Amino acid sequence: MKTIRQWFEEYPDPEIRSKLLYNLENDKNGIGATHECESFKIALLCGFVWSTTPEDFGFWNDLYRK
């Protein structure tokens, strides 16, 4: 397993990677960067609250569904 931070740091698209890491660091309601997850999708669900990010819920929901 990897930590949420590891999943996000390895995301291939640099623009999205930057957004993932920014929101991980700035969200106070997520479970934390060092929490271990079995997949990127689980890390995305747990890393931060989608609706409180500058991108909003729809952006992250679309990424999750890919």
pLDDT tens, residue by residue, 4-61 = 999 999 999 999 999 999 999 998 877 888 899 999 999 999 999 999 999 999 999 9
Count other C-beta atoms under 10 Å from residue 59's C-beta: 14
Question: Rounded to an integer, what distance in angstroms lies between the CA atom of residue 48 and that of residue 22?
Answer: 10
Q: Where in the sequence is the domain holding 20, given as residue range(s)? A: 2-65
pLDDT value of position 32: 82
Three-state DSSP state, 12 = coil
Three-state DSSP state, 34 = coil
Q: What is the DSSP letter of 48?
A: S
pLDDT value of position 21: 97
pLDDT value of position 29: 77
pTM of this prediction? 0.93
Number of separate domains in the chain: 1
